[in-house]
Structure 1
């Protein structure tokens, strides 16, 4: 992100639309943590935005697509981008499978086995984060850390508990 004031090129709020649906208390907690982490540290700026942030992000679902509705701090509309979730299906599915293996391993595996599974989990998370960053390229500038936190939120949105 070049030329953007880091204090302004950021999210100050993330809202999940009712189209996302609600789930178990555990899943809702994970969603809240993912949103908190994202707001706590991020670098976010819509491409070609003549104004400046900070920004608010509202996520919703429309026909199996993730809708990014971006507004300014005062609520003025900036842009809406719609991303297909199809490129994420395999990654999210594999990520959940390896997370299950990780939680199972914690109970009975050796530390080296747990570490190997965790490396695979982190690798899939990085792959999903890079895919998200690539899909947002030319639409919304995010650094890799922000892409990681957004991908965590995308994963949690898929988790039904």
Structure 2
């Protein structure tokens, strides 16, 4: 096997192949929320690095809520259960609230602000997004290995669960 073929095979087992929401615990959103969730899922499936130490993928992830905790129900693509990890959302409250406020400012600025003002708000938005994704990586450390971009996309999914129309 060539180095490229080995890398491709390695990448194929260290990724999410499917992401769904547990509708019993999360419920369906309004059409705008469902659209945002679909975009976030498309983005994460397009490119990601996701692995469970000692377990081969590809993986299917179901996000849900259990007693106000985010549930990561992870199974192999063939359906074999791998693990379920419950993640407290308490450490994310501030960053989710701040991210929601800055996103609202950004969308309002697009309508009336100058390009320089929009760019400044967007830089703040990206900074908060990075902060949240790093927090997510830290909270999953030792259980799930993911790269920075995958953590950003996962935070987008987490945020999409809280997004208000």
The TM tier, using the shorter chain, reads over 0.9
Residue correspondence of structure 1 range 108-127 to structure 2 within 5 A = 108-127=112-131
Deviations 1:92-119 (A, max 9, x none): 1100101111111111111111110000
Higher normalized helix content (fraction of residues): 2
- In 2, the alpha carbon distance for the partners of 1:117 and 1:160 equals 20
**Mapped contact 1:16–1:60 kept (Cα < 8 A):** yes
**Mapped contact 1:10–1:53 kept (Cα < 8 A):** yes
Residue correspondence of structure 1 range 59-70 to structure 2 within 5 A = 59-70=63-74
- In 2, the alpha carbon distance for the partners of 1:125 and 1:9 equals 23
TM-score, structure 2 normalization: 0.92
Task: After the TM superposition, list the runs of 4 or more consecutive aligned residues in structure 1 that deviate by more than 2 angstroms.
Answer: none
Q: Which of 42, 47, 53 is 1:47 aligned to? A: 53
RMSD of aligned alpha carbons? 1.3
Pairwise CA distance, 1:5: 1.3
Q: State the match for 2:44 in structure 1.
A: 38
Gaps spanning 5+ residues in structure 1: where?
Answer: none
Gaps spanning 5+ residues in structure 2: where?
Answer: 1-6
How many residues matched?
A: 157
Matched, 1:147 2:154: no
**Mapped contact 1:23–1:160 kept (Cα < 8 A):** no
Q: State the match for 2:137 in structure 1.
A: 133
TM-score, structure 1 normalization: 0.94
